[in-house]
Structure 1
Amino acid sequence: MSSLGASTSRFPAASYADRIARAGALARESGLDGLLITPGPDLRYLLGSRAESFERLTCLVIPANGETASVVVPRLELASLTESAASELGVRVLDWVDGVDPYALVAGVLPAPARTAVTDAMPALHLLPLAQELGALPVLATGVLRELRMVKDEAEIDALRRAGRAIDRVHARMGEFLTVGRTEAEVAADITAAILDEGHTEAAFVIVGSGPHGADPHHEVSDRVIESGDVVVIDIGGPVDPGYNSDSTRTYCMGEPDPAVAARVAVLEAAQAAAVDLVRPGVAAEAVDAVARDLLAAEGLADAFVHRTGHGIGLSVHEEPYIVSGNAIELTEGMAFSVEPGIYFPGQWGARIEDIVVVTADGCESLNTRPHGLTILPG
């Protein structure tokens, strides 16, 4: 057993103790014997660990019977747990060396055969030998863990607020970076540096979609030179400690926009605002999608809106709940997600407006406050 230290890049140990206890209880209610969590967002959520997944197994085992959780970890990877809450929680650390069967260590702390659920980030490299050792094929733990991760506690919401303010500061500086004559790649390099300067630990993504590239929702960057009159979509984000992400999109125009472009972006702005205004406890996720989609359709822009209205956010940039047609889940206080309708005209231009919102007791709090309409920069 190893002694592991603490880190300031995570929440207090009590937060993780509560999460592990609730995860075990939900597993028990689901008829499972335990949860098996390998490195990824779920492990970071439950233990505050930033361990990475390699060919050697690292796995948090949470028994559903309430017994102490264990971490099976290669001895040479013990340092990966030093920033976690493991030692403060009294988690058993079962370290192993080459030649020892780590899958047998996992099975040893569970009944046989064990009915288990695994994180969706578990590689098949580990899933298959675990299934053989446990005597039963695990199921996905998504149905258990999403109930925990979808609803953020106050500490998580505060981290998301800090992330939102940080990315707003980057958008506020866009006039420094986004100028006619520069390439998308040059602008993206400056934005990446600003994301770090403004308090993120990394730039998770930077989209600079100028002119016709703005019509591709997942365009990243290219060597295209930004021209006068271009409409430019800037979608940027990244994590702040302890790992919670920002994600905000604004649309810019290099010089005065064509009146038809401005009119369509005004409709998009109204659709985004209507969707945000609808967010409150008890409203179905699909209803938020519908209000934005219906408003755009009423103005003849139904075919221009080609993706869902939003996605949950937290330790992952994209997580549940998804704000999309067919998702009837009711919004609950503490859920955090994007509201980001867009319109796209292939070969011409595109626009998207995105805020992160958190559901409150009687509405929602928007974590991004930069102007939502078409921002005009010198052209």
Structure 2
Amino acid sequence: MGWGIFGTEAAERINWSRLRQERKERALKHVKDAGFGAFVALYEENIRYISGTRAAPWVRNKPGLRYALLLSDGTLIVYDQGDNWKHTKRLCPWVDKVKYSYAVWIKGASGAASLEQAIKFLSDIKTEMKEHGVGDLPLAIDFVDFNIIKAAQKVGINVVDGLGVIHEARAVKTQDEIEAEKVAAAIADAVHYEATQILRPGISENKVMAHLYKFAYSIPNVDHIETIIVSSGPLSWPNYRNFTDRIIEYGDLVLIDVVIAWNGYHTCHYRTYSVGKQPTQEQKDYYQMALDWLNSAIKAVRPGATTKDIAEKFPEASKVWGYREEEEAAANLWGHGLGLSHYDLPLVSRITSIKYPYPIKENMIFALETQHGKDFQWGVRIERMLRVTDTGYETLDKFPVDEIITVPWSYTKEV
């Protein structure tokens, strides 16, 4: 990160206008190449990607309250809930047209009233598509429920799967998106450093989580926290991936994952802490195994490689933990893209990547993570954020990973 987080007339920093335009252009190219007449986004990360508009965090898990329509001629229409459209129209002049949405229903709603709203939703979109000369072409959509399926038949519009199109568009980041991810990674590093200042015997997991939430939200333009996982002691293996009111004890290992979003761009990186004392030799040995697995996978990252090449660096779940299928170790050894969602492409996992390899491309950003432990005693987990360069990779996070971090903390090795 080469500059501050605010815009200034004296330096070219993140160019938000350029970022919005280049995202829209990428999405539009994929829509047109697929032969679609339009793409309608109901999931918030996709709405934001194509329109540069933002809703409140509580809308994120309710696709349909608002949506955005990108027509194949480049026209962008945003539909906001109720009279919120007035705010969008005033704040986002780059949007071609702003309307109120017909999505009174929320995902999974049922009944005649919900179906009627779905019919209004698709009827309006069909009208817009006709006006732009693409009424006979398919409408790509990123979310479907039974109401939408029935409404499409009633309205006479060909609704097709649009997730692949938008996922492909989002997979490779623009230069401004990369800079946004670097800022986000620096903030997540700071959250981990803050954790070293408060972790101690006697504090509970929920108090650690609450403190770190407050710290993260105190940084300007951190606009969402997906989660801050705090799993300690017996909850660190298997990794509970949550937080409780458990009191952290002297000698506990604690796993912390920081998943925040700065201007929409997400982080995800774990670190492992030992509270009050040095970890045991056995714990250090398990951590080194996990670190070796991670570093081996990272070294396989380069343009032209595939997710299979990376996933094969992870050991088989049957050999490490005696599991019958890889699914039992889901998320123990894996990787996932980062961007406007916590999970973008690519996905790296022995579950799917061996059979269905996906190409690694320059300027993808994703996290790789490994973990190990002893059931209901202690566990270790490590995660790093990477950008694919023209020859390999760069790591975006800088907080130390070479060993379990003992708190109180005094780091002397060179990072």
SS state at 2:236 partner: helix
User: Which aligned pairs between 1:182-221 and structure 2 lie closer than 5 A?
Assistant: 182-199=203-220, 200-221=222-243
What does residue 69 of structure 2 align with? 61
For the 8 Å contact 1:55–1:125, the answer to whether it is kept is no
Q: 2:52 aligns with which of 16, 26, 48?
A: 48
What does residue 171 of structure 2 align with? 150
Deviation by residue 1:99-152 (Cα, 9 ceiling, x = unmatched): 9944322111224444111023x665556435532433x122111112210000
CA distance in structure 1 between the aligned counterparts of 2:166 and 2:64, rounded to whole angstroms:
24
1:28/1:346 CA distance change after superposition, 3 Å: same
Residue 345 of structure 1: how far off its partner (Å)? 2.7
Q: 1:36 aligns with which of 40, 45, 51?
A: 40
- 1:374 corresponds to 2:382: no
CA distance in structure 2 between the aligned counterparts of 1:367 and 1:264, rounded to whole angstroms:
25
For the 8 Å contact 2:195–2:208, the answer to whether it is kept is no
CA distance in structure 2 between the aligned counterparts of 1:378 and 1:273, rounded to whole angstroms:
27
1:261/1:22 CA distance change after superposition, 3 Å: closer
CA distance in structure 1 between the aligned counterparts of 2:377 and 2:278, rounded to whole angstroms:
16
SS state at 2:391 partner: coil
SS state at 1:351 partner: strand
Residue 33 of structure 1: how far off its partner (Å)? 1.9
- 1:88 corresponds to 2:94: yes
User: Which aligned pairs between 1:229-240 and structure 2 lie closer than 5 A?
Assistant: 229-240=251-262
Residue 69 of structure 1: how far off its partner (Å)? 3.2
**Percent identity between the aligned chains?**
23
What does residue 280 of structure 1 align with? 302
Residue 361 of structure 1: how far off its partner (Å)? 0.6
Q: 2:191 aligns with which of 170, 178, 190?
A: 170
What does residue 273 of structure 2 align with? 252
Deviation by residue 1:71-126 (Cα, 9 ceiling, x = unmatched): 345661313524764x335x133457999944322111224444111023x66555
Aligned residue identity for 2:266:
N
Residue 170 of structure 1: how far off its partner (Å)? 1.4
Deviation by residue 1:227-253 (Cα, 9 ceiling, x = unmatched): 122111111221112x10121100011
Residue 68 of structure 1: how far off its partner (Å)? 2.6
Residue 26 of structure 1: how far off its partner (Å)? 2.2
Q: 2:344 aligns with which of 319, 334, 339?
A: 319
Residue 154 of structure 1: how far off its partner (Å)? 0.8
1:124/1:358 CA distance change after superposition, 3 Å: farther
Q: Please list every run of 5 or more consecutive structure 1 residues that lacks an aligned counterpart in the other structure.
A: 1-7
For the 8 Å contact 1:94–1:105, the answer to whether it is kept is no
Q: Please list every run of 5 or more consecutive structure 2 residues that lacks an aligned counterpart in the other structure.
A: 1-6, 8-13, 105-115, 410-415
Q: 1:78 aligns with which of 74, 80, 85?
A: 85
CA distance in structure 1 between the aligned counterparts of 2:404 and 2:42, rounded to whole angstroms:
43
Aligned residue identity for 2:342:
V
User: Which aligned pairs between 1:111-122 and structure 2 lie closer than 5 A?
Assistant: 111-120=134-143
- 1:346 corresponds to 2:346: no
Deviation by residue 1:293-329 (Cα, 9 ceiling, x = unmatched): 36x988x567595524111111111121111123311
Aligned residue identity for 1:42:
N
Normalising to structure 2: TM-score of the pair?
0.78
Aligned residue identity for 1:118:
I
Runs (4+) of structure 1 moved beyond 6 Å? 53-57, 96-100
Residue 363 of structure 1: how far off its partner (Å)? 1.0
CA distance in structure 1 between the aligned counterparts of 2:138 and 2:286, rounded to whole angstroms:
53
SS state at 2:314 partner: helix
Aligned residue identity for 1:221:
F
1:260/1:359 CA distance change after superposition, 3 Å: same
What does residue 3 of structure 1 align with? none
CA distance in structure 2 between the aligned counterparts of 1:55 and 1:152, rounded to whole angstroms:
24
Normalising to structure 1: TM-score of the pair?
0.85
For the 8 Å contact 2:191–2:216, the answer to whether it is kept is yes
Structure 1 stretch displaced more, 194-203 or 245-254: 194-203
For the 8 Å contact 2:24–2:49, the answer to whether it is kept is no
CA distance in structure 2 between the aligned counterparts of 1:83 and 1:332, rounded to whole angstroms:
37
